[in-house]
Amino acid sequence: MTPVNKSLQFTIGLALVFLSHTNALLAGEQHSHDQIRSAAIEFVRSQVPEDVTIKEISAGEIDSRIQFKQCSRALETKSTSNKHIAKSWTIGIRCLDKPAWSIYIPVKARLTRKMLVSKTTITRGEMITENNVAITEREISNQNLNHFSDMSNVTGREARRTIRPDRIIKSSMLQQALMVRKKETVLIYAKNQKLQISMKGTALKNGHYNQMIKVRNNSSKKIIDAVVIDRGVVAVNF
């Protein structure tokens, strides 16, 4: 038997695909490519968080030779990944009619979000404060997905390495700052509505910013619960 030419096999296969689509179309109207692409775009819009701004979004073109039977129900849409923030998406569109049909469409999105950026050079070990970072709108890329948008998420942490000005602050740049060390002498601020006093104490455990730790008052020897508010400083209400 003479082997079938590969190009002839491809032609026959393509013809069968078009024949299948054509037979399906005989039973009803066509579902436009624009409607299918719009369904992919709207799905991506629905996934993007509210605090992210969509600057631009577009769906890939569908081969003009492929036809789709008009679906009698809403198209089913899904993403091939579970990400809610991405520059590139692949969206599956499916019609559950009989015969069913489906297609995968690439979607590109240009997104921006408010991000924390260094205002000045932040040296290694320096604490992050509102004085050395600022919130600004930046385009989201694969390189800055681990950014911060809330000042409270970085305040009190320290730079793992030197950070140059105008750099987007990422989680890999920071580490939890150890503000108080166990057995270290600390300054205790005690206050109420009318009075504020300070005294020396000894930390009974390590403490990070805004963490509650046990401290021994060096004068009274009483052990109290105090909140770490600065390096070597704790506060307590009385």
Confidence of residue 210 (pLDDT cuts 50, 70, 90): confident
- Residue 129 within any structural domain of the chain: yes
CA neighbor of 122 nearest in space, from 83, 79, 175, 197: 175
Choosing from 175, 204, 220, the residue where a domain stops is 175
User: What is the pLDDT at residue 28?
Assistant: 55
Does position 95 have pLDDT exceeding 90, yes or no?
yes
Query: Structure pTM?
Result: 0.60
- Indicate whether 75 and 131 sit together in one domain: no
What are 142-156's pLDDT values in tens digits?
777 778 988 988 987
What are 168-200's pLDDT values in tens digits?
999 899 988 788 999 999 999 988 877 888 999
- Residue 184 within any structural domain of the chain: yes
- Indicate whether 141 and 101 sit together in one domain: no
- Indicate whether 203 and 137 sit together in one domain: no
CATH of the domain at 120: 3.90.1210.10
Q: Which residue has the higher pLDDT, 23 or 65?
A: 65
- Residue 90 within any structural domain of the chain: yes
Does position 5 have pLDDT exceeding 60, yes or no?
no
Confidence of residue 209 (pLDDT cuts 50, 70, 90): confident
- Total number of domains constituting the chain: 3
User: What is the pLDDT at residue 233?
Assistant: 94
- Please give the residue range of the domain that contains residue 232: 178-237
Q: Report which secondary-structure segment, H or E, holds 213.
A: strand 212-217
User: What is the pLDDT at residue 84?
Assistant: 84
* Mean pLDDT in residue range 68-81: 91
* Burial class, 170, CB count within 10 angstroms (exposed 0-12 / middle 13-18 / buried 19+): middle
Instruction: Give the Cα separation of 231 and 80 in Å (integer).
Output: 47
Burial 144-154 (b: 16+ CB within 10 A, else e): eeebbeeeeeb
- Residue 210 within any structural domain of the chain: yes
- Residue 120 within any structural domain of the chain: yes
- Indicate whether 12 and 99 sit together in one domain: yes
